[in-house]
């Protein structure tokens, strides 16, 4: 896909940001396991937070493809920063911009433009891949909803302010109405408790944690009503989530691009048997495969980012998003692993970036819909069949 001169300039600006601040901060953030508020300030100053927010709410009205160009550059050097850019432009914020009221959009835009990375709260201990089996409930009481339940593995738990919470909705008689989105701002919402933080293998500066809802009261202005109503609310909300699937796939692809760059530089300088190791065909063919997989991943992600789902959806096509995420996440794991191999023992050392990249990249066939579950979505489209995964 050919990029415009504006897009090329955007990519170049993101690359300069990444080569400057992030080259140094990537390893530091990994070691400290602290959320990088300093990087957020810099992202804000460069206007990479809230790029997709429409201009009338203070954003730039940029596209998901524009965001993808920025995410790749960030991920080459610092995965946590790239994930901040994903969530400050896709996922929850894009859902509010598409489905929210004017007041909700304004509120969410103000938070993100001030530096917040919103949290999207879907997964529960008993409802991971089977997200529609969620148990968190929102009970109508007068004109309010009262939320009870819990979520886990929520990216940004304890640092995000805006939360988009998926919950099963019940009316006052106890009848189930479907699934809705509920907005809560940490610090303002009584009944929103941050639970245990996970000790993760990678992406260490980004907290992943538990959220507990204890009679969390949601006022009518914070109910995000899906366009088809609660009955088909889950489908509408997960449709909006396709943007973040493309974002997550791009983080994986960006890590792979960074790892390949390191590998290319290394094989030209490291000598064995009196020659640069890049002169050995065994490594040349590995490099060729790595570049081929990277190029294919990038093309698929760009096509998915620029696509629109059925019915004039504001979000990427579900099948293209799934295919791109499956391919890019699996290819990235292999590319990073092969790059690490080219560094020999040094690849295994904390003094070099490859081991961090290998830990970070592993997440992307899991979070955002596992590679297996996304294959079922693609197979369903290929066959033209519904493929319910429950026994009955």
Ligand X SMILES: Cc1cc2nc3c(=O)[nH]c(=O)nc-3n(C[C@H](O)[C@H](O)[C@H](O)COP(=O)(O)OP(=O)(O)OC[C@H]3O[C@@H](n4cnc5c(N)ncnc54)[C@H](O)[C@@H]3O)c2cc1C
Give the binding range for ligand X (CB under 6 A) out of 50-58, 149-157, 183-191, 256-264.
149-157
Question: CB under 8 Å to 82, separation ≥6 — which residues?
Answer: 71, 72, 74, 75, 250, 251, 254
Q: Does 129 bind ligand X (CB under 6 A)?
A: yes
Question: CB under 8 Å to 98, separation ≥6 — which residues?
Answer: 240, 314, 315
Identify whether the C-beta of residue 167 lies closer than 8 Å to the C-beta of residue 222.
Answer: no
Q: Report the alpha-carbon distance of residue 8 to residue 182 in Å, rounded.
A: 37
Q: Does 367 bind ligand LLMBWK7S (CB under 6 A)?
A: yes
Q: Does 148 bind ligand LLMBWK7S (CB under 6 A)?
A: no
Where are the extended beta strands (E) located within the chain? 119-121, 137-141, 144-155, 162-170, 176-185, 192-197, 208-218, 223-224, 271-272, 275-276
Q: Which does 372 bind (CB under 5 to 8 A by kind): ligand X, ligand LLMBWK7S, none?
A: ligand X
Q: Does 132 bind ligand LLMBWK7S (CB under 6 A)?
A: yes
Q: Does 373 bind ligand X (CB under 6 A)?
A: yes
For 270, counting Cβ atoms within 10 Å of its Cβ (0-12 exposed, 13-18 middle, 19+ buried), the class is: middle
- In the complex with ligand LLMBWK7S, which residue's Cβ is closer, 43 or 342? 43
Q: Which does 154 bind (CB under 5 to 8 A by kind): ligand X, ligand LLMBWK7S, none?
A: ligand X
What's the distance, Cα to Cα, between the start and end of the chain in Å? 43
Q: Does 122 bind ligand X (CB under 6 A)?
A: yes
Identify whether the C-beta of residue 61 lies closer than 8 Å to the C-beta of residue 68.
Answer: no
DSSP letter string, 255-296: HHHHHHHHHHHHHHH-EETTEEGGGSHHHHHHHHHHHHHHHH
Shortest spacing between CB 370 and ligand LLMBWK7S, in angstroms: 7
Q: Which does 384 bind (CB under 5 to 8 A by kind): ligand LLMBWK7S, ligand X, none?
A: none
- Binding residue for ligand LLMBWK7S (CB under 6 A) from 93, 111, 131, 253? 131
- In the complex with ligand LLMBWK7S, which residue's Cβ is closer, 248 or 260? 248
Chain residues that interact with ligand LLMBWK7S, rule: CB under 6 A: 120, 122-123, 129, 131-132, 155, 234-235, 238-239, 242, 244, 248, 318, 367-369, 373, 377, 388-389
Residues that bind ligand X (CB under 6 A): 120-123, 128-129, 153-155, 203, 208, 363, 366-370, 372-373, 376, 389
């Amino acid at each position: 896909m050919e990029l415009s001169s504006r897009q090329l300039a955007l990519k170049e600006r993101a690359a300069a940001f990444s080569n400057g601040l992030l080259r140094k901060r990537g390893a530091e953030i990994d070691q400290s396991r602290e959320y990088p508020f300093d990087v957020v300030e810099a992202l804000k100053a460069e206007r990479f937070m809230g790029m997709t927010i429409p201009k009338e709410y203070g954003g730039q009205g940029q596209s998901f493809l524009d965001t993808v160009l920025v995410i790749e550059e960030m991920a080459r050097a610092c995965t946590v920063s790239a994930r901040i850019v994903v969530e400050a432009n896709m996922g929850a914020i894009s859902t509010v911009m598409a489905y929210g009221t004017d007041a909700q959009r304004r509120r969410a835009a103000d938070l993100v433009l001030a530096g917040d990375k919103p949290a999207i709260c879907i997964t529960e201990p008993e409802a991971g891949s089977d997200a529609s089996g969620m148990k968190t409930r929102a009970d109508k009481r007068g004109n309010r909803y009262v939320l009870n339940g819990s979520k886990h593995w929520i990216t940004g738990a304890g640092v995000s302010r805006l939360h988009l919470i998926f919950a099963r909705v019940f009316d006052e008689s106890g009848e189930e109405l479907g699934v809705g989105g509920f907005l809560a701002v940490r610090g303002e919402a009584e009944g929103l408790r941050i639970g245990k933080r996970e000790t993760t293998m990678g992406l260490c500066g980004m907290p992943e944690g538990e959220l507990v809802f204890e009679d969390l009261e949601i006022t009518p202005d914070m109910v995000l009503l899906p366009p088809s109503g609660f009955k088909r609310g889950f489908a509408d909300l997960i449709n909006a989530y396709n943007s973040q699937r493309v974002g997550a796939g791009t983080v994986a692809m960006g890590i792979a691009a960074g790892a390949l760059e390191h590998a290319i530089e290394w094989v030209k300088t490291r000598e064995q048997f009196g020659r640069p190791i890049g002169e050995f065909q065994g490594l040349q063919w590995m490099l060729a495969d790595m570049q081929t997989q990277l190029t294919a991943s990038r093309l698929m992600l760009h096509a998915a980012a620029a696509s629109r789902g059925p019915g004039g959806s504001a979000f990427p096509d579900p099948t293209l998003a799934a295919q791109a995420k499956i391919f890019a996440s699996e290819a990235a794991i292999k590319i990073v692993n092969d790059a690490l191999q080219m560094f020999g023992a040094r690849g295994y050392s904390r003094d070099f970036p490859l081991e961090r990249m290998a830990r970070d990249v592993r997440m992307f066939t899991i979070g955002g819909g596992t590679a297996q579950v996304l294959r079922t979505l693609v197979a369903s489209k290929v066959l033209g069949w519904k493929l319910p995964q429950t026994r009955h």
